[in-house]
Structure 1
Amino acid sequence: MLDTTANHNQDSLRELIRLITFSQGEFSLILAVGNYGVLRTQIIEQLQEQCSIPIRELVLEQSVKTLYTTIVEELGPEQPEALMVSGIDSVSCIEEVLTATNQIREEFRNFRFPLVLWVTDKLLQMLIRSVPDFHSWSSCVEFVISSGQLIQFIEQTTDQVFAKMVASRETEFLQSCTLNLNKDSGSYVELQSARQDLEKRGVALAPELEASLEFVLGRVADNCQEESRQHYERSLALWKQTDNLERRGHVLFCLGLWWAGYALWHQAEKEQGCQKAKVYFQESVEVLEQANRPELAAKFINFWGEALQHQSNWEELEKVANKALALHQTYSDPFRMAQAYGFLAEVALAKSAWTKAQEYSKQALFLQSTASAKIVNPSPEEEVFLDWNKSFAKGWYLFSLGRALLGAMRSQKHVG
């Protein structure tokens, strides 16, 4: 398959060079069809190396409204020997851009050079359907990607998602946009296409890669929807067939997040949702400890504590909070340590241990404020985290301290 693909692409490349060469000094439209960024990059590099004619490149922004005007503004009075345009498949208002292109298609004859326009199969069909007049001017050259390259693309994309989750703070790894995999992103579209292309070729993914892909698709889907949970559950079932405990731990954590959100949005089933969230968070921490990744267990353990707090399970929360404290001290994370003290303050409040509740709340506030002050010139990601920590965590610690002070005051009045 690899040799066949390589031979096909080499023939297509020669045809593309021939079309560019024979169109010197006049306008011609050449559609280069390739569904994947990695393939386009590879072909463009080969084209620039093998074609004797200099080819100017233009990458369209997502916000462009017209193709012709954008090219004119980019070139000015210049008439290059050839122009290659990519990125049109990522344009936000693609229907409007194509309609405008068809309406002023005669203006393109002002260009005295061949225009190579990179399109996907999907966009090619849109051109045929929506702007048949403009499409009728074109010559079409197709490039294909091998099954091995598709598998490698899925591996690299899923590996990047897991790596970003490991490297990010809590408020970051909950956002699909941080992973560049929201449903409008090119990476997501290519990931779906890669899976479909492999299925059409009868190529099955290895269980680990299938599990990774299901996990990533779950991350991209709306975490409030059943689709997301179903992807996670399929991923978990596949991970259980492998020895990769670390990634299994990540999937368990995301299932916990899903059920925590479910409990929040479905108050009638809150108890069930909280219990499922608690079980998944607990399993996530335990599996990561089995994987000898205690630093990741430290990252997720506070979510287990939150689920127990929502359940008012004070006895178990006390154990988990103390376990979390030990982990956060080992891996030196004052923000997470502050949250663990916040849990202990909640336990003390439930026991009417007002003095202890005050001590734990004050310790949480001290750690939170001291750690925040040490972050000078925060990055945009750090600013998001600090804002979240200040508005949610600090407010919680202050509220706990207020409850402890009020409880102590009432207790003293009662004794008096």
Structure 2
Amino acid sequence: MPEEAALDAENLEAFEDLLVSIEASQGVLSLLIAVCDSGQFRDELIARYEAELQPDIRCYQVSLIRGEPSLKMTILQKMQEDEPLKLGTQSVVMVTGAEQLYFLKLNEEKSEQDIFFGYLQWTREALREFRFPIVLWVTTQLLTQMERKAPDFWGWRKGVFWFESRKTSAVSSSQLESFRPIFTELGLANSEDEILLPLADLQALIEQTEKNQPDDPLLATLYGQMGRIYAGRLKWGEAIDYQKEQETAINYFRKAIDLQEAPGQEESLAISLNNLAVLYKSQGRYEAAEPLYVRSLQIYEQQLGASHPNTQKVRENLALLRKKMTRSTP
């Protein structure tokens, strides 16, 4: 059973409140906003609503079109495909896909999210023809932008329903010190507000840097920070797909290590070697982890001395690993 399959008290209250709003909104347009940072948890919730509402109320799920993220056009397309929805049968439309839209412009005139909010801002009157509740599923990051970028739509909302989850697909801008030079170029560095950035945007930003500036020394730092971000998500239970994010963290640390072999990056290299070893150890790959710990320890001893806290920490990590290896040996 999924970790969040059993709803806690707060999520159960939000679930029931949204259920009542859907039932009370039949035959009229009602704009409802559901906030959930975990796609898996959101899908579980939508499945619950389908089970609760049917057969009395049809529950439709539609996804925004990535290149043309118009709420109205997405719903109209579904109506053309489904006769009961078109005829006004009791129903609710659950709209997902906004969480996949990029926050950053990435060399485009507008970001995908800006295009979405632009459509949303001028959508209110156009939605009048719909005689059923619409549940727009967004993340916390999207919600924080909506009030400012689509105030007209925001003013028409009939309710906001929060579903709490430890799992999230975004990271706070305060955790991204290594990205500051790039943020400065994008005009984000001087923002007074704390910005939640989708992980997909950060990955795309790195890919763009790899393509346009493959020799940029900043890449090694970005790789290392992204590896630490993903490793932290694993540690604190924030990962949406644990195995996939574990491999992502490993790949970023490997990339960082390749670039940190250059002179002058010894301490950064030691950090990445230790972090990669920790991940290998968590996978039970002890033979792969041991030489990484050994090399990290050697670098720290040369650079910082045997008594430095960083040196002692890696020495402790190596000792614990070897103890595990001894116990696992037949």
What TM-score, normalized to structure 1?
Answer: 0.42
What is the aligned partner in structure 2 of residue 134 from structure 1? 153
Is residue 124–residue 156 contact of structure 2 (8 Å, CA) maintained in 1?
no
**Structure whose residues are more often helix by fraction:** 1
| Cα displacement (A) at 1:67 | 1.9
| Cα displacement (A) at 1:91 | 2.7
Give the distance between the partners of 2:133 and 2:291, measured in 1 at CA.
50
What is the aligned partner in structure 1 of residue 32 from structure 2? 30
Residue from 126, 146, 155 that aligns with 1:107: 126
Q: 1:2 and 1:85, CA in 2 relative to 1: closer, same or farther beyond 3 A?
A: closer
What is the aligned partner in structure 2 of residue 84 from structure 1? 94
| Cα displacement (A) at 1:10 | 1.4
What is the aligned partner in structure 2 of residue 62 from structure 1? 66
The percent identity for this pair of structures is 24
Give the distance between the partners of 1:56 and 1:41, measured in 2 at CA.
12
The residue type equivalent to 1:140 in the other structure is: V
Give the distance between the partners of 1:119 and 1:20, measured in 2 at CA.
17
**Structure whose residues are more often strand by fraction:** 2
Is residue 32–residue 118 contact of structure 1 (8 Å, CA) maintained in 2?
yes
| Cα displacement (A) at 1:128 | 1.2
Give the distance between the partners of 2:36 and 2:233, measured in 1 at CA.
15
Q: Secondary structure at the match of 2:68?
A: coil
Q: 1:210 and 1:127, CA in 2 relative to 1: closer, same or farther beyond 3 A?
A: closer
Q: Secondary structure at the match of 2:33?
A: strand
Structure 2: 5+ residue runs without aligned partners? 103-111, 169-199, 206-225, 297-324, 326-330
| Cα displacement (A) at 1:87 | 0.8
**Length, aligned pairs only:** 213
Give the distance between the partners of 2:255 and 2:204, measured in 1 at CA.
10
Residues 124-163 of structure 1 show CA distances to partners (whole Å, capped at 9, x for unaligned) of 01101211121122211111125xxx49xxxxxxxxxxxx
Q: Secondary structure at the match of 2:203?
A: coil
What is the aligned partner in structure 2 of residue 215 from structure 1? 250
| Cα displacement (A) at 1:62 | 2.2
- Relative contact order (C-alpha < 8 Å, sep 6+): which is higher? 2
Give the distance between the partners of 1:212 and 1:67, measured in 2 at CA.
35
Larger Rg: 1
What TM-score, normalized to structure 2?
Answer: 0.51
Structure 1: 5+ residue runs without aligned partners? 152-179, 256-289, 291-416
Give the distance between the partners of 1:211 and 1:91, measured in 2 at CA.
23
The residue type equivalent to 2:52 in the other structure is: Q
Is residue 33–residue 143 contact of structure 1 (8 Å, CA) maintained in 2?
yes
Q: 1:142 and 1:184, CA in 2 relative to 1: closer, same or farther beyond 3 A?
A: farther
Q: 1:198 and 1:34, CA in 2 relative to 1: closer, same or farther beyond 3 A?
A: farther
The residue type equivalent to 1:101 in the other structure is: L
Q: 1:181 and 1:70, CA in 2 relative to 1: closer, same or farther beyond 3 A?
A: closer
> What CA RMSD, in Å, does the superposition of the two structures yield over aligned residues?
4.7
Is residue 82–residue 114 contact of structure 1 (8 Å, CA) maintained in 2?
yes
